[in-house]
Amino acid sequence: MEEANGDLITLILAAGKGTRMHSDLAKVLHRISGRPMIHYVLDTARALRPRRIIVIVGHQADAVRRELAGSTGLPESHGPPESPGPTGPTGPPVEFAVQEEQLGTGHAVRQAGPLLAGESGVVLVLAGDTPLIRPSTLASLIQAHRRDGAAASVLTAGVDDPTGLGRILRDGAGRIDRIVEEKDATEEQRALKEINTSTYCFEPVLLLRALNRLSPENRQGEYYLTDTIEILRREGHRIADAPAGTPEETMGINTPEQLSAAESWLLERDRARPRDG
């Protein structure tokens, strides 16, 4: 990106265990082409030149912090988990929030509440297990969010097989009404092919207010970040959306097979990139 986003705060969710990876290693530390996947997401966040980057850690929090310290110039020991390190040449310091219990994505973002208090501008929420997402795709989402003056915006994708993914529900005018997780969806809703990519923009004050209204009344007993979309819409706020450039780039890594597929896709994308000279 050519210009800095002085009002942009990027929030990266990196607290998950990743039980389907069949490893005790934190999901975001699994490697793609020799690098932990969290670095790909962090590189993409930095390409947008945000004012702040906050990473929410949980499972193996110390290991994730140490990994990010090694990549950003932060010292191995830099105070409490929530403390930022020194500013380096690669962008703003990485700040940390801690999710002690795994109670869902909404609960995870809520842990960053103290760091977001009093903020304005745009909060971009990224999943730490989506290493293929491109800066240009995120820039389009941010542009749509600002253009529409939205309270929240969602990056969507159309896929052939939406199994396991949240579905986008739209109203009669084609606007996003809410997002339903597959475990809570009806058979008719599961037939939908437009999915939530777990990538969002929010207005900070409205996000924090919506997070406080979340309840774990669903089959997983978790606080879903997706529920903030319905909360804000029912309050009369505008919800915007933008499509991903390609469905592949929104792939979340949950299994060793998906990890291998992501590596192949990254290699293919790199080979297709024009070379100078």
- Model confidence pLDDT, tens digit, residues 159-216: 999 999 999 999 999 999 999 999 999 999 999 999 999 999 999 999 999 999 999 9
- CA distance linking residue 44 with residue 126, whole number of Å: 10
Report the share of the chain in percent with pLDDT over 70: 90
For 18-39, how does the pLDDT look when each residue is reduced to its tens digit (9 = 90+)?
A: 888 888 899 999 999 999 999 9
pLDDT of 70 higher than 60: no
Look up tokens 């730490």; give the residue: 128
Instruction: Give dist(CA 11, CA 124) in Å, integer.
Output: 6
pLDDT for position 47: 96
Direct distance between the N- and C-terminal alpha carbons of the chain, in angstroms, rounded to an integer? 22
Q: What is the C-alpha to C-alpha distance for residues 32 and 99, in angstroms, rounded to an integer?
A: 25
pTM over 0.85, yes/no:
yes
**What pLDDT was estimated at residue 90?**
64
| Measured distance CA(141)–CA(139) in Å, rounded | 5
**pLDDT at position 176:** 97
For the chain, what percentages of helix, strand and coil (3-state, to nearest 5) are there? 35, 25, 40
Closest CA to 130 of 268, 266, 241: 266
| pLDDT, position 205 | 98
Q: What is the mean pLDDT of residues 220-239?
A: 97
Instruction: Please give the pLDDT value at position 4.
Output: 63
Distance CA 154, CA 237 (A): 14
- Which ranges of 191-255 would DSSP assign to H, the alpha helix? 204-211, 227-234
State what percent of residues in the chain have pLDDT above 90.
80
Look at the block and give the residue holding tokens 């809703």: 189
Residue 175 known to be catalytic: no
Calpha distance 200→226 (Å, rounded): 9
Catalytic residue among 20, 31, 147, 213: 20
Tell me how crowded residue 175 is: count the other CB atoms within 10 A of its CB. 12
CA 110 to chain centre: 14
The pLDDT assigned to 23 comes to: 86
pLDDT, greater one: 75 or 137? 137
Average pLDDT, the chain: 89
How much is the pLDDT for 161?
94
Mind listing the pLDDT tens digit for each residue in 107-123?
A: 999 999 999 999 999 99
